[in-house]
Amino acid sequence: MQNIEILGLVAAVFTTSAFVPQVFKIWKHKSTKDISLVMYLVFFAGTSLWFVYGMYHESVSMILANGITSALILVVIGLKLKYK
């Protein structure tokens, strides 16, 4: 594995883990009143496209980061719709 891919994996851990507290907060408080649905939909589209781009380039860090982040975003969107 190239050093630059390791750097990508470290960046992936930071950016992906940033969504975990938001998901837990929504889950715990069952409130999404201050969450923008449009922002999360657009962000999901972006991370999904980055995921496909990572697949094309066979970049493990891009695939993991954007795959996991997309899944977390889908959870937020689902909770937003559920608790609306």
Q: How confident is the model at residue 1 (pLDDT cuts 50, 70, 90)?
A: low
Query: Does the structure show a pLDDT above 90 at 2?
Result: no
Q: What is the pTM of this model?
A: 0.85
- CATH class, 3-82 region: mainly alpha
What letter does residue 41 receive in the DSSP assignment? H
21-74: pLDDT as tens digits = 988 999 999 999 889 999 999 999 999 999 999 999 999 889 999 999 999 999
Question: What is residue 84's predicted lDDT score, i.e. its pLDDT?
Answer: 80
Domain parsing of the chain, residue ranges? 3-82
Residues in the chain: 84
